[in-house]
Amino acid sequence: MFWKNKSVVVTGAGGFIGSHLAELLVNRCKHVRALAHYNGRNDEGMLELIPKSIHKEMEIILGDIRDPFAVRNLVKDCDIVFHLGALIAIPYSYVAPASYIDTNVLGTLNILEACRAEGIFRMVHTSTSEVYGTAQYTPIDEKHPLQGQSPYSASKIGADKLAESYYRSFRLPVVTVRPFNTYGPRQSARAVIPTIITQALTGGPIYLGSLTPVRDMTYVKDTCEGFLALAQCDKAIGKVVNLGTGQAQSIGDIVEIVGQILGRKLNVKTDKKRIRPKESEVMKLLSDNSLCCQLTGWKPQVTLKKGLAEIIKYLEKNLDRYKISKYNI
């Protein structure tokens, strides 16, 4: 009943997680306004891949969170804002760090200020486990120190602190959701799981960087359910809350599981272009998700093996969307 009469905004709806979240919200809310990044091709990103029956129920807007005027209009007359719009690729942040500040820091400031000015009922700000850097202890809880190990993670730390400041300074009802690595259908080739599977499905060697980093992988539907649970939780206001499974595997382990599902051993080769700078690579991310479980009762439902099997089915049908022979930073 909480969602039935709510009007919501999803920024970053043209992206991987954002498109899944917007799709999920259509079946629960009165109105969904989905923001995809403006471009001259009228390309709605991943929103174009959702079922047409759901797509037609959304109000899709092409815009840019870096423009405060556009953002103010975007959130008008809405109850809840899910802010997922961001530049997220870590390798590209080495090449174009200023664009990450513009989008992730100043863009978030625009969203926060618009939500404050419009008296939004709830804002859900999206963080990332990358802000923790290489784990000083595991599992990582919300009190773990923050470390800017890449320009991307530094920009997200800045955005998170702005959200904290708007809660403390203006009592903006904002929840900061900190997902650990999310995977699932529609994810781009810049992410490691589609990188592994698309190369495996075409029979070639699997070109990767380091196999030793450890990640806590959450299936996208579980991540989206976590967003919804925290959005309606009054006790989460002003807090940072982790979303993860509490289990982690190395990149090498994930390659092994993919090979098991496909029924063959995968040939892995090191590609030096894909290896991140030594002091920048985050070696281990393993979540403590107990706060989210305590506040909302949320628990991830999809095991890694089941989730990987689902992605393999999806990618088998959509290989033509991926430039497999080209490294995507």
DSSP class per residue in 293-320: HHHH-------HHHHHHHHHHHHHHHGG
Verify cis geometry, omega within 30 degrees of 0, for the bond prior to 173.
no
Query: 108 in a domain, yes or no?
Result: yes
Q: Give the domain extent around 100.
A: 7-184+217-245+286-301
Query: 167 in a domain, yes or no?
Result: yes
What is residue 164's predicted lDDT score, i.e. its pLDDT? Answer: 98
What is residue 13's predicted lDDT score, i.e. its pLDDT? Answer: 98
Residue of 185, 189, 190 whose CA lies nearest to 219: 185
Query: 326 in a domain, yes or no?
Result: no
What is residue 274's predicted lDDT score, i.e. its pLDDT? Answer: 87
Query: 74 in a domain, yes or no?
Result: yes
Distances (CA, A) of 232 to 80, 121, 123, 160, 199: 10, 10, 10, 20, 40
CATH number at residue 130: 3.40.50.720
Query: Which parts of the chain register pLDDT below 50?
Result: none
In total, how many domains does the chain have? 1
Query: 195 in a domain, yes or no?
Result: no
> Would you say 244 and 177 are in contact if contact means Cβ atoms under 8 Å apart?
no
Query: 231 in a domain, yes or no?
Result: yes
> Would you say 302 and 247 are in contact if contact means Cβ atoms under 8 Å apart?
no
Residue of 265, 269, 117, 124 whose CA lies nearest to 208: 269
Query: 161 in a domain, yes or no?
Result: yes
Q: How many C-beta atoms lie closer than 10 Å to residue 274's C-beta?
A: 15
d(CA 308, CA 101): 33
Query: 313 in a domain, yes or no?
Result: no
